[in-house]
Amino acid sequence: MGGSVWRELASTAGRARRVALGAAVCALVASAVAACEEERPVAKDPLCDLVVGISLERQYSSQLPDQTIALTFDDGPGDRTAELSAYLRDQAAPSAFFINGGNVEGRETVVRGIVSDGHLLANHTQTHAGLDVLFTEKGATAIVDEVAATDRIINQFQPGARPLFRPPFGRWDASVHKALRDSSMNKYFGPVYWEMGDALTPTTAADWDCWDAAGNGQRTLEECSDLYLVEIRSKRRGVVLMHDGPPGGANDRTVDMVKRIVPILKAEGFKFVRVDELDLAPVTVPEAGTFGTTLTPPSDPCATKSRPLSWDYVPFNTKHVNPCGPALLRRRGLSACVLSQGCR
């Protein structure tokens, strides 16, 4: 669905906007800090000539249209992923599956089904290793290998998909960022985080913890479903975190929960979008260094000079000036850049 819209935006309209943006970008360059950092290799997005890259800052999307959510499923493919994928297809709820490549062998048909059902494959590493720990123990190469191995699998099943990355356990730091940024895996956008499904509390949900007898969990299917509904109804928009793996674990209960909550949400008017399509809507910009805090984009999207953005983490779907010109990137020593709706 909207993938084609994104492609079109990125190639045609994006090109037109970049021309129109020339003056604004030049003004920015002229006023940019002169100190040039070392030039890093910059990756081209496979679908357009925008420069993309992994970001140090965690990426959120919390300003979707009201009652619009993006379901994401981590740690699969699992034992019931095929059932989940087909169900979501039938419900017209395209979703994203952040897979661990190590789970794919023997489940190739399942992965093929995820794609043919209209969902997105995204990268959650090969073995679900905590990348910060892996960096300490084995260094940068091991981190790149974790992402690259799953990247090869995704390319095999869904070539040309927008490359999105989410780190296992959400664990992310400067060392892990630098390892990926300085590698060919800098083609990924992310780290993609979530607004809902983060923690099990009296008013919020976390499926893995619902099913985990050793954690806060041991919730019934109904209790956990109700908590997701409470949180989604309260926040009304954004990315929802759930799990469909790993195989052999308890997270396959999430499939039953999805079957319970999706019809309810649809009846209440909620819409479902794929997380790679979120650039079609303006979003709230996370404040640098403050987890989860949000800023409203300025009403004049071209008024960036009055608003000191950290370019290194400009989210992929803001209304700010597109800072993705390669020259501007090099000038500012940036690796991360993203699609922007730009100025008109």
Pick 191 or 282: Cβ nearer Zn ion: 191
Among 45, 74, 244, 277, binds Zn ion (CB under 5 A): 74
- 3-state DSSP of 182-211: CCHHHHCEEEECCCECCCCCCCCCCHHHHC
Residue 166 Cβ vs Zn ion, minimum distance, rounded to whole Å: 7
Pick 193 or 311: Cβ nearer Zn ion: 193
The residues pairing with 68 across neighbouring beta strands, listed in sequence order, are 237, 271
In sequence order, what DSSP letters do the residues of 243-309 get, joined into one string?
E--STTSGGGHHHHHHHHHHHHHHHTT-EE--GGGGGGS--PEEPTTSTT-EEPPPSSTTGGGGS--
Among 47, 48, 72, 75, binds Zn ion (CB under 5 A): 75
Residue 100 Cβ vs Zn ion, minimum distance, rounded to whole Å: 7
Pick 45 or 75: Cβ nearer Zn ion: 75
List phi, psi (to 5°) of 177. -60, -45
Residue 124 Cβ vs Zn ion, minimum distance, rounded to whole Å: 6
Segment interacting with Zn ion, rule: CB under 5 A, options 73-81, 249-257, 274-282, 336-344:
73-81
- CA gyration radius, the chain: 20
Residue 81 Cβ vs Zn ion, minimum distance, rounded to whole Å: 14
- State whether the Cα torsion 173-283-197-250 is positive or negative: negative
Residue 74 Cβ vs Zn ion, minimum distance, rounded to whole Å: 4
In angstroms, what CA-CA distances link 232 with 203, 204, 226, 236? 10, 9, 10, 5
Which residues within the stretch 154-193 sit at the binding site for Zn ion (CB under 5 A)? Answer: 168
Residue 191 Cβ vs Zn ion, minimum distance, rounded to whole Å: 12
Counting residues that bind Zn ion (by CB under 5 A) gives 3
244 binds Zn ion (CB under 5 A): no
Residue 264 Cβ vs Zn ion, minimum distance, rounded to whole Å: 26
Pick 129 or 309: Cβ nearer Zn ion: 129
How far the first Cα of the chain sits from its last, in Å, is 26
Segment interacting with Zn ion, rule: CB under 5 A, options 74-82, 88-96, 107-115, 304-312:
74-82
CA distance 47 to 161: 8
User: Which residues contribute to the site for Zn ion (CB under 5 A)?
Assistant: 74-75, 168
